[in-house]
Amino acid sequence: MNSLISKSTKKKTLNEYGYICFLTGLFFLPSSLLIGAILLLPSAILGTITHKKSFLKDQWNYSLIIFGLFILISAFLQNFILKNAYSDIWDPKLSFIGLANWLPFIWFFWAFQPFLDSKLKRKYFGIIALAGSLPVLISGFGQYFFSWHGPFETFYGLIVWYQRPIEIPGGLSGLFSNQNYAGSWLNFVWPFCLAFFIKERDLNFKRLVIFSFLFSVGFAGFLTYSRNAWIGFVTSITILSGKKGLKIILISLTCLSLLLLLPNFFEEAKKNFQDLLPERIILEFVKEGYVGLDVTRSEIFLSGIKLIKASPLLGIGAGSFPGIFELQTGFWKGHSHNLFIELAISYGLPATIIFFATISSILFLSAKEIFLKEKVDLFLIDKAIWAALFTFLLSQLFDIQYLDGKISIFAWMLISSLKNIATERYHNK
């Protein structure tokens, strides 16, 4: 009996240590991928030790294991068996290197779940994510308004922050490599700002702090000049505020579209409204803003789809798109600007279908729990988590921020949270 109590106490202590590492790693993640990863790795190990189920007894892992096997086999065949028509411009070792964007996260998805398996833990997850985003906001505003370019060093050079000077048409990027990555992170934390602000109704210091974050994250997202960030902010507002918010947004967007896009109506009103907006914002929505582009997004997508057709089962290889696209068009693009297309080019359609079917199932089942069942008190945090992942996946249809380590780690934390939400009622029976 005593041995059982001792074992239970030890397991609880390990879980607590893992939880501390998890929250601390999350706090440092947006500022430093290195420190965040150093802390999150032991949290994942401790999460594995203290998990209620073994890895192979959780059926949700099966499809991800199959996905992992598919991409591993694909990478092996691309390196040692298959002949590649683009071997002169592409190194097949990139397929093995590219596995780092996927295989570790199959483990993280499962190992992080003990730290996100209750409403209270998910509330603290949101709080720490916001707190850790403060350096992103400070560095971003410093970059935009005071020309802070760095590099800045701390911990005797262990952390070095590089910030680029902002060049037109670029926007605020802060601690990230460009404004689209910064916008993606701000899209992650924006729903939490909304959830905490809606929940805290009393006018007090706490609400003032929450409003400060709400305003700062919203303003920073606006200054990124990233259309993905703007769309994500509007989408999150719609999800968190419900039908009333949706009506307001639809009416506002309709009026804005009429004023900006219609050439022959409301000319005077259109001119007056455009005079109020900075030219950089207007250029994001009118055809003049696309003059001089070397290639359109749709042309990039079509090129990617053709590459998928060339090798649908196993793909051509991770990192192959830039060189092939440049060979075919003379223009260099770092990726295919669509995560589905990129994964299929890298490792084939079967792996891509399995992966996105799994994530879609988690989104769907968690949505049933969050939106179709009555929840109390902290349900807005779960809504925020759902909105954060949904807007992120929506943005991956037009760009790929997933390849940034900070963003991919946080995205998998969201997936782990939603998996817990989707299965909570079965665990609580």
Beta bridge partners of 373: none
Please tell me the distance from the alpha carbon of residue 98 to that of residue 260, in angstroms, as a whole number.
Answer: 42
Q: Are 242 and 256 in contact (CB under 8 A)?
A: no
pLDDT of residue 320: 92
Structure tokens at 314: 């196993």
pLDDT of residue 283: 52
Helix (H) or strand (E) holding 382: helix 379-395
Structure tokens at 187: 């899209």
Please tell me the distance from the alpha carbon of residue 377 to that of residue 199, in angstroms, as a whole number.
Answer: 8
Helix (H) or strand (E) holding 6: helix 2-28
Tokens 């002169």, residue?
Answer: 88
Please tell me the distance from the alpha carbon of residue 174 to that of residue 224, in angstroms, as a whole number.
Answer: 9
CA 202 to chain centre: 32
CB atoms within 10 A of CB 297: 15
Tokens 């993280």, residue?
Answer: 108
Task: Tell me whether the omega of the peptide bond preceding residue 312 falls within 30 degrees of 0, making it cis.
Answer: no
pLDDT of residue 5: 42
pLDDT of residue 87: 80
Which three-class secondary structure state does DSSP give residue 154? strand
What is the torsional sign of CA 134, 137, 139, 142?
negative
Tokens 């109704």, residue?
Answer: 201
288: CB partners within 8 A, 6+ apart: none
Please tell me the distance from the alpha carbon of residue 28 to that of residue 34, in angstroms, as a whole number.
Answer: 9
Q: Taking the complete model, does pTM exceed 0.75, yes or no?
A: yes
Q: Are 224 and 372 in contact (CB under 8 A)?
A: no
CB atoms within 10 A of CB 360: 11
Please tell me the distance from the alpha carbon of residue 427 to that of residue 420, in angstroms, as a whole number.
Answer: 9
CA dihedral 124, 217, 336, 312 (to 10 degrees): 30
**Tens-digit pLDDT profile for residues 195-224:** 999 887 777 888 899 999 999 999 999 999
As separate numbers, helices (DSSP H) first and strands (DSSP E) second, the chain gives: 18, 2
pLDDT of residue 45: 96
Helix (H) or strand (E) holding 63: helix 60-80
pLDDT of residue 289: 46
Structure tokens at 127: 């709080």
Structure tokens at 395: 């943005």
Q: Are 300 and 325 in contact (CB under 8 A)?
A: yes
pLDDT of residue 134: 96
In terms of Cα–Cα distance, which of 132, 110, 114 is closest to 16? 114
Please tell me the distance from the alpha carbon of residue 228 to that of residue 221, in angstroms, as a whole number.
Answer: 10
Query: Which residue numbers in the chain have pLDDT < 70?
Result: 1-12, 155-158, 168-169, 243-294, 373-378, 425-429
